[in-house]
Amino acid sequence: MKKNRLLSALLLSVLLTSLLALPASAVGDGGAPAASGSAILSSMNIQAKAAILVDDDYQEILYEQNAHEKNYPASITKVMTTMLVIESVDRGEHSLDEVVTVGDQVELGIGSGGSGVGLKAGEQLRLEDLLYCALTASANEACNALAQFISGDVASFVDLMNQRAAELGMKNTHFANTHGYHDDDHYTTAYDIYLMCHEAMKHPTFRTIVSSKSHTVPTTNLHAERNLHETNALVSTWRITGYWYEYATGIKTGSTPEAGYCLASSATKNGKNLIAVVLGAENPKNADGSTNRLQFSESSRLLKWGFDNFSRQTILDQSAMDFPEVGVTLSSGTNYVTVQPSGSLEATLPNDIDPGAFQRQVDLPESIEAPVQAGDKLGTVTLTYAGQEYGTLDLVATSSVERSELLYRLDRIQKFFDQLWVKLVLAAVLVLIVVLILFALFSGRRRRRYSGSRGRRYSGRRR
């Protein structure tokens, strides 16, 4: 009897261990060699506190130098002010021909030495002329006039500026006024300025103004005719000569003692559009006593460098087949499938960078179940270079794999019995069966003993 009990307990232990054992899973990963460097990139350095160059057609950064560090924007602020006004025109809320009466907050926050065109409260002029005053002549009071016209007061308009900055992803920007006159709480970054300029350049009215060399404001009720001239020496030679750039299309100058000399510039060449931002440049003296206005010379150098040394290149396409194979289970034929990118990725790159130097981050399962159809998404591949992400493509199956119905049914049965609750129920049933067997064995033994005792007692009485 002891042997029977020991055998039953051993059998129960083995069954429970087998039923409750959970399958192990394997995890695979892949990698690629680190991207090699670029002599073109390493050779560039801008003489300024911060700078950035962006392929504006694709919003790809070509060069950056302290691009996310906070700096004062000075009059580049006026890009946001005028863009908000132009957006209201595009929405049909106002018209460029609409006559604006300059409000009583025209001089708000403007200290001595600020640029202006002599606007006075009560003066009347067209909205379009006010925009030219703000952008072409960089007039501080024109920005306050625009703000009060749009929002009723300057403070409410500044709130709109900060709201729009947040919408554009300008995470390190805060505006305290409409014009950029120095305020310690008025700051941004080269990258944020690019985001703002990219949005502003979408508007034809804005592009027309910032690329214009001059503009005439007709006589108003309080002032004679004004002839305005562009402050950007890349666009106009009226104020400063020696920096004109034939491909320049804008955008805005800015300078204060605290901000240094700043320029957001744009250029178009052979259908390619670049935007550059240079912040905190100096104006040192040359050996001959002339002034080197670095905000202009460094900006044009950066733009020319971008056009001359970068090109659009394919960095991944469907011809790439060197990806890990994906195992296929429950198939009636092959037990793996190959993958390829679902399309192509392009990037504007320095001409000395090999597209093969990009690092691939591949996300693929080790195996999948059949059936698989050609073109099914099985994973992704992301390309990076020097820590910058250039895009992600789906990895799709290159062929179809049919499912084995027999293997599929067997797998479903196995998966059913692999469920924890099923294992627990089966274990409980087995325990119950063993208990019943033991109980039956024990009860049978007792009955045999009892029957034997009665038989002996009965036989003794007859004798």
pTM of the model: 0.78
Buried/exposed code over 48-81 (b: 16+ C-beta within 10 A; e: otherwise): bbbbbbbbbeeebebbbbbbeeebbbbbbbbbbb
Distance CA 267, CA 274 (A): 5
Segment-wise mean pLDDT, segments of 10 residues, the chain, 463 residues: 39 36 29 52 96 97 97 98 98 98 97 92 98 98 98 98 98 98 98 98 98 98 98 97 98 98 98 98 94 98 98 92 88 88 93 89 92 94 86 94 64 69 81 85 71 55 46
Res 11: pLDDT: 37
Main-chain phi, psi angles of 395, to 5 degrees: -105, 120
Res 428: pLDDT: 87
Res 184: pLDDT: 98
Res 121: pLDDT: 98
DSSP state of 348: E
Strand partners, 229: 214
Distance CA 353, CA 384 (A): 13
CB 153 within 8 A of CB 105: yes
Distance CA 232, CA 262 (A): 10
Cα 156 to Cα 133, 159, 162, 193: the distances in Å are 21, 5, 10, 22
Pair of tokens at residue 434: 């063993």
- The single residue listed with the structure tokens 């003993």 is 449
Distance CA 146, CA 140 (A): 10
Res 390: pLDDT: 86
State whether the Cα torsion 155-161-162-167 is positive or negative. positive
Buried/exposed code over 141-172 (b: 16+ C-beta within 10 A; e: otherwise): bbbbbbbbbbbeebeebbebbeebbeebebee
Res 193: pLDDT: 98
Distance CA 219, CA 118 (A): 13
Note the helical H segments in 61-153.
78-90, 127-135, 140-151
Res 3: pLDDT: 39
Res 319: pLDDT: 87
Strand 214-217 vs strand 226-229: parallel, antiparallel, or unpaired? antiparallel
Task: Give DSSP secondary structure letters for 290-303.
Answer: -B--HHHHHHHHHH
Res 448: pLDDT: 66
